[in-house]
């Protein structure tokens, strides 16, 4: 996930604010960045510290805390100590985590309060070669900051990071490059995945440009490392778990469904939605020819096989659980006035309700699964199981992981026991 607002706390990292201020500035990204916010021993004298709305904080002898409107003293709000504690963005932790993910050697220098020049670390592409990386927080004379770094530069090249490109004006980037100083915009090179800071493709592009600038080849060890966890279609499907790699036939549909589930951990997908997401056509057209990813792939006869007669109590439980979830989704859609979502929720709700009405027999009695949804569930489950079996034949541990983490009912779900960074291409 690309974070667009995380450069805001970087720019204001030398300052501290109450939590409501950070919530207003970061909005939906607060969830991902909250671990970098740590409470200080400072208490706010004004709340919430904005120019357009501000209450003077008053603590009474009783310990009660109030906010008094600066323009209208009769307008007051009740506060708690938790409301007025100030939080600061932890640049040190952010630096450490980023350097670890990017393969950089983090600086051990302390981050001085109010400093706008922060030693970040070094990029060491090979033994004996090291390039310093510095974070510059924009100030009143940002161009002067850059010029000072150029004049003081030592060695064959230097990397300067800024929160964004906002201050790169009037040919500043070109001037820096001419002096073998590369400017990098942090909000272009950092993304968040599984609660980790990871490099984007732009990071590789920046490093390639830097190597060209200092007249050296991009070292092999700076390329993206081979992932220990891979599920990708490279002619044939390749599954890698740990140090064991399994190659399966390229015409199988099972890996395609599994790949989609791996890309959406802990999300439930009704089999019809899963089919449409992977195959690109509605589930009600499953008896026609299909193509996957532009490659002609007729569904095998075994996949389109006749109905089975089995017990299906798990399907009923899945439907009932989904109805409860849809009730919650409808309330949220009403609150957001999202008419399209309301229509989608109502249609799915009505569909499931009719399915349950038709299920009038005892849940312990066998039923004919000519029902298209149940039949679709079995078809998808069959190809997924076939894929898992092929993996298990070559990699017992990898196969067992897939069996344990993928639910294969009417609502399918990938629920890993641990966070895994899968590669899909």
pLDDT in tens, 142-161: 888 888 877 777 778 899 99
Mean pLDDT for 35-62 is: 84
Q: What is the pTM of this model?
A: 0.50
Residue 308 has what pLDDT? 38
- Report in angstroms the alpha-carbon separations of 221 from 98, 188, 422: 18, 22, 20
Q: Which of 39-43, 140-144, 284-288 ranks highest by mean pLDDT?
A: 39-43
Q: Which of 150-159, 293-302, 332-341, 342-351 has the lowest mean pLDDT?
A: 293-302
Residue that wins the pLDDT comparison between 319 and 358? 319
Q: Is the peptide bond before 48 cis (omega within 30 degrees of 0)?
A: yes
Domain boundaries, the chain: 7-89, 92-222, 227-308+369-425, 311-367
Give 3-state DSSP helix, strand, coil % of the chain, rounded to 5: 40, 25, 35
- The top-scoring range by mean pLDDT among 280-284, 296-300, 348-352, 369-373 is 348-352
The distance from CA 424 to its chain's CA centroid, rounded to whole angstroms, is: 15
Percent of the chain with pLDDT over 90: 20
Average pLDDT taken over every residue of the chain: 79
Between 180 and 359, the higher pLDDT residue:
180
Strand, coil or helix: 147: helix
Instruction: Decide: helix, strand or coil at residue 174.
Output: helix
- The model's pLDDT over 196-222, given as tens digits with 9 standing for 90+, comes to 888 888 888 898 888 888 887 655 444
Tokens of 14: 């030398």
Which residue, among 148, 181, 132, 142, has the nearest Cα to 163 in the 3D structure? 142
Residues 3-19: what's their mean pLDDT? 75
- Confidence band (pLDDT; 50, 70, 90) for 134? very high
Predicted local distance difference test score (pLDDT) of residue 307: 36
């Amino acid at each position: 996930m690309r974070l667009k607002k995380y450069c805001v706390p970087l720019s204001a990292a030398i300052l501290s604010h109450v939590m409501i201020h950070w919530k207003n500035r970061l909005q939906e990204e607060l969830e991902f960045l909250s671990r970098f916010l740590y409470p200080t021993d400072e208490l706010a004298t004004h709340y919430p510290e904005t120019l357009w709305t501000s209450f003077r904080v008053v603590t009474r002898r009783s310990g009660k805390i109030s906010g008094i409107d600066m323009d209208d003293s009769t307008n007051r709000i009740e506060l708690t100590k938790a409301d007025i504690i100030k939080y600061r963005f932890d640049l040190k932790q952010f630096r450490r985590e980023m350097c670890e993910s990017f393969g950089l050697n983090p600086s051990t220098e302390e981050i001085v309060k109010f400093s706008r020049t922060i030693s970040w670390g070094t990029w060491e592409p090979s033994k004996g070669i090291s390039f310093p990386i510095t974070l510059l927080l924009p100030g009143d004379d940002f161009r002067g900051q850059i010029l000072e770094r150029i004049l003081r530069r030592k060695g064959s090249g230097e990397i300067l990071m800024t929160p964004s490109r906002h201050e790169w004006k009037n040919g500043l980037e070109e001037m820096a490059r001419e002096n073998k100083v590369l400017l990098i915009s942090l909000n272009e090179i950092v993304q968040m995945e599984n609660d980790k800071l990871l490099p984007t493709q732009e990071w590789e592009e920046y490093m390639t440009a830097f190597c060209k600038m200092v007249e050296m080849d991009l070292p092999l060890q700076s390329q993206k490392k081979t992932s220990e966890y891979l599920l990708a279609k490279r002619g044939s499907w390749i599954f890698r778990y740990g140090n064991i790699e399994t190659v399966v036939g390229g015409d199988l549909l099972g890996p395609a469904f599994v790949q989609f589930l791996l890309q959406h951990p802990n999300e439930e997908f009704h089999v019809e939605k899963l089919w449409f997401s992977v195959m690109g056509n509605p589930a009600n057209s499953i008896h026609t020819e299909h193509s996957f990813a532009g490659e002609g792939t007729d569904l095998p006869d075994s996949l389109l096989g006749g109905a089975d007669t089995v017990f299906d109590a798990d399907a009923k439980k899945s439907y009932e659980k989904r109805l409860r979830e849809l009730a919650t989704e409808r309330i949220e859609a009403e609150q957001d006035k999202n008419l399209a979502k309301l229509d989608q929720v109502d249609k799915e709700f009505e569909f499931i309700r009719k399915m349950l009405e038709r299920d009038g027999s005892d849940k312990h009695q066998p039923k004919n699964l000519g029902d298209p949804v149940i039949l679709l569930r079995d078809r998808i489950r069959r190809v997924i199981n076939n894929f898992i079996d092929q993996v298990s034949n070559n990699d017992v541990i990898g196969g067992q992981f897939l069996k344990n983490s993928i639910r294969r009912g009417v609502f399918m779900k990938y629920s890993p026991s641990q966070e895994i960074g899968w590669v899909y291409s």
